[in-house]
Structure 1
Amino acid sequence: MAGCFSFTASHDRCYRFSFSNTGLKSTTTGLGNTTIMHCWVPKSHKPNKPSLLLLHGMGANAMWQWNEFISQLTRRFNIYVPDLLFFGEAHTSKPNRTESFQAQCVAALMEAHCARRMNVVGDMENGLFVVKNIDEAAMILIPQTPEKMKQLVKLTFVKPFKVMPACFLTDFIDVMCTEFRQEKKELIETLYKDRKLSNLPKITQPTLIIWGEQDQVFPLELELAHRLKRHLGENAQLVVVKNAGDAINMEKPKELSKIFKSFLIDSTTLPMQENLSNGRKLD
């Protein structure tokens, strides 16, 4: 019996073609006998271009979160887009679920590709928010029903899709949210456990913090963005994107592309204080 058509799987194939068409190739790298990392890397590394590492957040695989920006960024950078553990094609049999272990695996992956110096862009989509308990957070961040999927969309978008047919939501859940469900829940449990801003390392490199003005996951009025900037110090700058929620990469891709360009490219010739002033709102 022939299988049913999957909109999500079809979309995933389109993203795969899009990544390949911009000069990237899909690779898998074994880190010992227990961990497999997947990453989109340049088909041909250009020594005259700087390297750029794109890290995704909770959600689908890396392609779904970075597809809007790949064609523009590959013109200027050698792009590396890994799937974090338990997303896409990356997995491990080790029990460690900490963000430090994720970082170690990404670092080992980049070392395997001889990329030792790079710019880093991280996507905190669908991150940490106020809930009654970890189980409730997991039910929203790893939705298993159309109702929970709708709740996640409403939480992360300023203007959620008006029509969200249950059949499409169920299809997305089946393709993107069922595999490694327990492992993803354990990741969320580890992220919530004893998390304090003071425990975060201080980054000495120039850092840009991008925040959605109407973010419901990390509400701007809770001052987390400004606290994070103060924690990182004078090398950090904050840009607030107007009329955007937590999923800035999907709601405001053009604005986000301009921000990336201004910080990653134009800042080499223009003073950053003129380009992106602290706390400035960007239309």
Structure 2
Amino acid sequence: MAVPTMDTLSLGKSAPRCVSITTKIILHSILNPLLKIQWFAFLFSFIDAILAVYFRTICKLSSCTVVMDDEQTSMHFWAPKRRDPRKPNLLMIHGYGGDSKWQFMYQAGPLSQSFNLYAPDLVFFGKSYSTRPDRTTAFQAKCVAQGMEQLGVGRYSVYSISYGGYVAYSMAEMNPESVEKMVIVSSGIALTEEQKAEHLGKLEKDVVDLLVPQKAEDLRLLLNLSIHKYDRFKGYPDIFLQGFIDALGQRNRKEKKELIEHLMAKKPDDNLSIIPQETLLVWGDSDKVFPLVFGQQLQRHLGSKAKLKILKDTGHASNMESAHLLNDCMKEFLLSKSYFSKEN
């Protein structure tokens, strides 16, 4: 029988160790990226939960779901736990880029001090859903109006931003007896067909891919287009942005795309109605999504019942980067009984 040498003994001990180290390296290289993705997705899910707590505690809002008369559509609302009769009612309609919690995180707290706030998640955003095939902004408007009616709110002003502006405009047309005043922020309601084609041609990506991003690079481009003062996510790796998409951007992707596709395919109304409500238009002077010229155009269309407030050094997402200024503009307009008689 052969006698083991020191070399064979060393080899016998080190071989399993080498295999173990190699296995760990392989597993680490495979699992580490996956763990990072899961971690960032978990992080954004956690922030989403924290925002819900913030809305409930600081903003004193409760979460509720309203089922529409068609019984095919449900709309989630944030509404006051207790309505204060001394405060006016304010409906806030979000745009793309998240549900009402994410879009109004910097505004809900301060505004809740002066208003009874109502913040729905539009259909296919947040917890709102419908089995109906309707993808029009008019359908969204009907759902929001019916939700407010079921919540027992008869009169209210409306604040809307971007895509939400289209919905709010339809509400003002359909429910003039309910909508008191309008605040429209950075919305391309009055674009002509030629302007729309020219503007879309300047974008580096398909508008659907931008507004419903699947990749981190598309979300980064959307943020760069929306935010002017600074890039909040500059230096953050793509895996961080991908975590946001994975956590919050996967629900109802198909339907969200269809909403945008319908809006883009619809020809602008050459006979756009002039809504009767007093309207405050708020625009960032550096808006790249809907440049200031579109706000000036909408003001001319609405005439003497509309005023345009320009926020300096601000892009499209004024609700994020100039929330304090936007809140001040809104409160001055909505709480004043003689705003249009003053020089602003």
Q: Which amino acid aligns with 2:308?
A: L
Distance 1:34 1:147, change over 3 A: same
Q: CA deviation at 1:194?
A: 3.2
Q: State the alpha-carbon separation in 2 of the partners of residues 199 and 59 from structure 1.
A: 30
Q: Which residue of 1 aligns with 2:47?
A: 11
SS at structure 2 position matched to 1:198: coil
Q: State the alpha-carbon separation in 1 of the partners of residues 272 and 48 from structure 2.
A: 34
Between Structure 1 and Structure 2, the one with more helix by share is 2
Q: Which amino acid aligns with 1:25?
A: S
Q: Which amino acid aligns with 1:46?
A: D
Q: Which residue of 2 aligns with 1:39?
A: 77
Q: Deviations over 1:119-163 (max 9, x none)?
A: 100011796673349x81111111111111111111111122322
Report if the CA contact (8 A) 2:225-2:289 is conserved. yes
Q: State the alpha-carbon separation in 1 of the partners of residues 126 and 82 from structure 2.
A: 23
Report if the CA contact (8 A) 1:150-1:164 is conserved. no
Q: State the alpha-carbon separation in 2 of the partners of residues 143 and 208 from structure 1.
A: 31
SS at structure 1 position matched to 2:107: helix
Q: Which residue of 2 aligns with 1:88?
A: 126
Distance 1:271 1:93, change over 3 A: closer
1:151 and 2:211 equivalent? no
Q: Which amino acid aligns with 2:249?
A: C
Q: Which residue of 2 aligns with 1:174?
A: 246
Report if the CA contact (8 A) 2:333-2:339 is conserved. no
Q: Which residue of 2 aligns with 1:280?
A: none
Distance 1:59 1:200, change over 3 A: farther
Q: TM-score of the superposition, structure 1-length normalised?
A: 0.89
SS at structure 2 position matched to 1:239: strand
Q: What percentage of residue pairs aligned between the two structures are identical? A: 36
Match of 1:183 among 249, 252, 255: 255
Q: State the alpha-carbon separation in 1 of the partners of residues 255 and 217 from structure 2.
A: 22
Distance 1:90 1:168, change over 3 A: same
Q: Which amino acid aligns with 1:160?
A: D
Q: Which amino acid aligns with 1:185?
A: K
1:27 and 2:64 equivalent? yes
Q: CA deviation at 1:197?
A: 5.4
Q: Which amino acid aligns with 1:84?
A: L
Q: State the alpha-carbon separation in 2 of the partners of residues 59 and 201 from structure 1.
A: 28
Q: Which residue of 2 aligns with 1:59?
A: 97
Q: State the alpha-carbon separation in 2 of the partners of residues 255 and 203 from structure 1.
A: 26
1:98 and 2:168 equivalent? no
Report if the CA contact (8 A) 2:187-2:295 is conserved. no
What does 1:1-283 correspond to in 2, within 5 Å?
Answer: 4=39, 6-21=42-57, 22-31=59-68, 32-124=70-162, 130-132=199-201, 136-158=206-228, 159-161=230-232, 162-196=234-268, 198-220=270-292, 223-265=293-335, 267-268=336-337, 271-274=339-342, 276=344
Report if the CA contact (8 A) 2:281-2:309 is conserved. yes
Q: State the alpha-carbon separation in 1 of the partners of residues 339 and 66 from structure 2.
A: 39
Q: Which amino acid aligns with 2:320?
A: M
SS at structure 1 position matched to 2:207: helix
Q: State the alpha-carbon separation in 2 of the partners of residues 252 and 197 from structure 1.
A: 31
Report if the CA contact (8 A) 1:49-1:78 is conserved. yes
Q: State the alpha-carbon separation in 2 of the partners of residues 39 and 144 from structure 1.
A: 27
Compare CA radii of gyration and give the structure with the larger one. Answer: 2
SS at structure 2 position matched to 1:58: coil
SS at structure 1 position matched to 2:106: helix
SS at structure 1 position matched to 2:55: helix
Q: Which amino acid aligns with 2:90?
A: L
Q: Deviations over 1:68-102 (max 9, x none)?
A: 11122222211100000110000100000000000
Distance 1:146 1:198, change over 3 A: same
Q: State the alpha-carbon separation in 1 of the partners of residues 235 and 331 from structure 2.
A: 33
Q: TM-score of the superposition, structure 2-length normalised?
A: 0.74
Alignment RMSD (CA, Å): 2.0
